[in-house]
């Protein structure tokens, strides 16, 4: 396992040391084989209005979302700091560009119809990096495009809060369009999960 470097949060490093990536990856496959829905996030993205043709999978991990979106015909680029996780993505979809990079600083030299973060990126990143990540991802959104983020809602000092994300998004020139409690677009209930859609006008 690659030991996470100083650029990742202590929380992420602790989580990674506790997880067997092979088990993590195959868990989703077992769920799919059992008939469980495993692509709610991809369903959400492909039913945006208008549906995106280009997608940045930000914090892509093992590529579960990006692989599925590519299968559905999207032009996908995935970015993550964890090379071990990217190795799974590259094996599962070798034709998709999987980029080792920091979301706060990466420059892909292009924009996308949608930038999507599904893996609790804001929860696991260093709190001081949150505004930089949102601002940098906003720079990768084409005019009229969206940033879609799904995160657990927590309490406590430095815990992620949806209003904080909204403030960073607004500062980056994005306007909130929707806020849900699930990837199935259930109304925001102030619960433990939130999905937000912010658009670049």
pLDDT, tens digit, 9 for 90 and up, residues 104-133: 999 999 999 999 999 888 988 988 999 999
Beta-strand ranges (E) seen in the chain are 54-58, 75-80, 98-100, 112-117, 141-152, 174-180, 193-200
Fold of the domain built from segment(s) 10-200 = Rossmann fold (3.40.50)
**In whole angstroms, what is the distance from residue 199 CA to residue 178 CA?**
9
Per-residue pLDDT tens for 126-159?
889 999 999 999 999 999 999 999 999 887 767 8
Domain residue limits, the chain: 10-200
Residue 190 has pLDDT above 60, yes or no: yes
Count other C-beta atoms under 10 Å from residue 89's C-beta: 24
Tokens of 189: 């209930």
Across the range 157-172, mean pLDDT stands at: 88
pLDDT, mean of residues 6-15: 77
What string of DSSP letters covers 16-70? HHH--HHHHHHHHHHHHHTT----HHHHHHHTSSSPPSEEEEET-TT-HHHHHHH
User: Which letter, b or e, does each residue of 131-153 get, where b requires 16 or more Cβ atoms within 10 Å of its Cβ?
Assistant: bbbbbbbbebbeeebbbbbbbee
pLDDT in tens, 19-54: 888 888 888 788 778 777 789 999 999 999 999 999
* pLDDT recorded at residue 7: 67
- As a whole number of angstroms, the distance between CA 103 and CA 111 comes to 14
pLDDT > 50? residue 1:
no
């Amino acid at each position: 396992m690659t030991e996470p470097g100083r650029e990742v949060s202590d929380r992420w490093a602790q989580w990674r040391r506790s997880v067997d990536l092979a088990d993590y990856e195959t868990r989703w496959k077992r769920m799919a084989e059992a008939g469980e829905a495993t692509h709610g996030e991809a369903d959400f993205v492909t039913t945006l209005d208008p549906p995106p043709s280009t997608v940045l999978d930000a914090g892509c991990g093992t590529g579960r979302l990006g692989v599925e979106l590519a299968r559905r015909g999207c032009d996908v680029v995935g970015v993550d700091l964890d090379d071990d996780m990217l190795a799974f993505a590259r094996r599962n979809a070798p034709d998709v560009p999987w980029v080792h990079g920091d979301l706060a600083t990466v420059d892909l030299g292009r924009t996308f119809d949608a930038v999507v973060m599904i893996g609790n990126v804001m929860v696991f990143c260093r709190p001081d990096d949150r505004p930089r990540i949102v601002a940098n991802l906003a720079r990768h959104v084409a005019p009229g495009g969206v940033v879609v983020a799904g995160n657990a809602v927590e309490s406590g000092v430095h815990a992620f809060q949806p209003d904080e994300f909204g403030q960073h998004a607004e500062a980056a020139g994005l306007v909130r369009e929707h806020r849900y409690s699930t990837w199935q677009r259930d109304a925001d209930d102030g619960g433990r999960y939130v999905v937000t859609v912010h658009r670049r006008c």
